[in-house]
Structure 1
Amino acid sequence: MSGGSVTSPAVIELSGVDVFYGASQILFGVGFSVEQGQTMALLGRNGAGKSTTMKAIAGLAPPRRGSVRLNGAETTRQKPHRIACAGLGFVPEDRQVFPQHSVEDNLLIAAKKGPDGRDEWNLERIYEAFPLLVPLRQRMAGRLSGGEQQMLAIARMLMGNPSVLLLDEPSEGLAPIIVQRIGELIRTLRQTGVTILIAEQNMHFCLGLATDATVIDKGQIVFKGSIAALKANDDIRQRYLAL
């Protein structure tokens, strides 16, 4: 065995990803990786390509060119349910709870073991981690506030015991107290060793949560580095993240 530093394996890896919606190209050669246990912030203005990148990873916007790999396995052409079974959990920007079902039914619908047989997240643990949902367990999900729906969407995703979490704009449009709770939850999840990719316009929300940042603008990656490097780079923050 040779010496030297050992890097963690890439859990999510994109290489040269082009995505089109019809004739319109949205992503242009997007490439970055997220290592095991990392919390990566994918930052950019509205319309920069964050959500499309998340959908490309989840199989909902298959790339026309390039590759997506999950835990080393090619997933570029796989169906979304296959990618989910491989350990990917995705909370989309619009949450997509089942409005005519109760909170508890929304959770039970998503219950499954992880790809390695992990079964850490069940109803009991969810209600411990999300005490806000306990008094709402029989309420129809369509009658929840935006913040409650966001909590439910994250909880439902965890019921699938994923090893990789994609959170698309988790703080968008929510009251500051709910944003704070979601931040605390992400910190707790980080400590369990899961790999997290957060797409956000709100850089300040991510600064205390993420270890690393990738900045996207007009469908192209314009910065990759640590959160500390992003904080030190006034030019990138002013050009691509200033609202």
Structure 2
Amino acid sequence: MTELLRTEGLSAFYGASQILFGIDLSLAEGRTLALLGRNGAGKSTTMKALAGVIPTRDGRVTFGGADITHAPAHVRARLGLAYVPEDRQVFPDHTVEDNLLIAAKTGPGGRRDWTLPRIWEAFPLLVKLRRRAAGRLSGGEQQLLAIARALMGNPLVLLLDEPSEGLAPIVVATIGRLLRELGAGGATILLAEQNMHFCLSIASDAAVIDKGHIVHRDDIAGLSANAEIRRRYLAM
């Protein structure tokens, strides 16, 4: 199984405050890894550090075998690392279709798996909204658009930060179904979530983060069966 993304001893700061302490993660091609933890545990900081949005103070990040520890965000994106932030960051004054076309590019090695017609097929809810300004979409519709926009770049790895947070149950179910279909189709996904139940039918593997440290690793079934770890680090 080919490893696509790895961190070794990853540490990151906001100003003088250290948030991540020696994070070690490994994501193999075609797998979905859930990074689970409570609010404030370090999930979003980990995703930002991987995407190059914040700098890495210590440690190493490799992607496809290349050292990207100090590579800027746009270089990581060109290499095939797509990041969907927690706050979605759609272009509010542009239409849904324009948001997608802005992001369209050929992926690494000439990948063109995701085109506009395929996006309409995979995201039927967006078809009827294609002419609507993205700023007029609901939170759930914006989340779907943000994921679709990331796919338009034909990435090798998809980083999703809290995709279910604050959304209605029916929208969460729709996003969950979409991520299962992506995983079944061979997509490689790192999913940061505090909702373990959302991840159960999506992720193959799990890592638990607490206070900036990885405190547990397992496959998703093993984590689900480990009541002590769930109580200690994931119970709300």
Query: By the TM > 0.5 criterion, same fold?
Result: yes
Which residue of structure 1 aligns with residue 163 of structure 2? 170
CA deviation vs aligned residue, 1:18-47 (integer Å, no higher than 9, x gap): 101100000000111011111100000001
Q: Which runs of 4+ in 1 moved over 4 A?
A: none
Unaligned runs of 5+ in 2: none
Q: Deviations over 1:108-158 (max 9, x none)?
A: 000001111011111111011111011111111000000000000000000
One-letter code aligned to 2:34: A
Which runs of structure 2 are paired with 1:223-242 in the superposition (5 Å)?
A: 223-242=216-235
* Matched residue type, 2:210: D
- 3-state SS, counterpart of residue 78 of structure 1: coil
2:26 is the counterpart of 1:33: yes
Q: Offset at 1:9? A: 2.4
**What's the TM-score once normalised by structure 2's chain length?**
0.99
Root-mean-square deviation (CA, aligned residues, Å) is: 0.7
Residue 122 of structure 1 corresponds to: 115
Question: 157, 179, 186: which one pairs with 1:193?
Answer: 186
What is the alpha-carbon distance in structure 2 between the residues aligned to residue 82 and residue 170 of structure 1? 24
- 2:128 maps to 1:132: no
Number of the residue aligned with 2:40 = 47
2:146 to 153, 166, 177: 153
Give the TM-score, by structure 1 length: 0.96
> Number of matched residues?
236
Q: In the alignment, is residue 181 of structure 1 matched against residue 181 of structure 2?
A: no
**Displacement of 1:191 after TM fit?**
1.7
Q: Distance in 2 between matches of 1:11 and 1:138?
A: 36
| Structure 1 equivalent of residue 203 of structure 2 | 210
The equivalent of 2:60 in structure 1 is 67
Q: CA deviation at 1:232?
A: 2.0
Matched with 1:4 is: none
Equivalent positions of 1:2-41 (< 5 A) are 8-41=1-34
- SS of the aligned residue for 2:178 comes to helix
**Structure 1 residue ranges without an equivalent (≥5):** 1-7
